[in-house]
Amino acid sequence: MTAEHAAPDAGTAPTDEAVTAALAPLANGLAADDYRLDIARTGDFAVALTVVAGPEACADCLVPQDITRRMAEQRLTAVRRAPWEVEVRYPEGH
């Protein structure tokens, strides 16, 4: 195998597209209650997730931040089996 056709390195970080796709079910669930999920890569295996409330957001529909973090970690680990750092930010008052 030449270098350009070599298998990806086991330590290679997933692409931004792969991260977004992995978190799409979480984003879609939030969108159903008028929240947007903003994803920022903070490292190869680290993300900051910011939940932004829309004008019709259901304040009582958000699960606790630690549950959102665990769900995100599970989705990301399914893409790349590595420990992930996930920071979750909720709108003020949640």
Give 43's strand partners. 46
- Residue range 17-42, pLDDT digits in tens: 999 999 999 999 999 999 999 999 99
Residue 59 has a pLDDT of 86
Q: With 0-12 CB in 10 A as exposed, 13-18 as middle and 19+ as buried, what is 34? A: middle
Residue 1 has a pLDDT of 35
- Residue range 43-83, pLDDT digits in tens: 999 999 999 999 999 989 999 999 999 999 999 998 888 88
pLDDT at residue 6 greater than cutoff 70: no
pTM exceeding 0.75:
yes
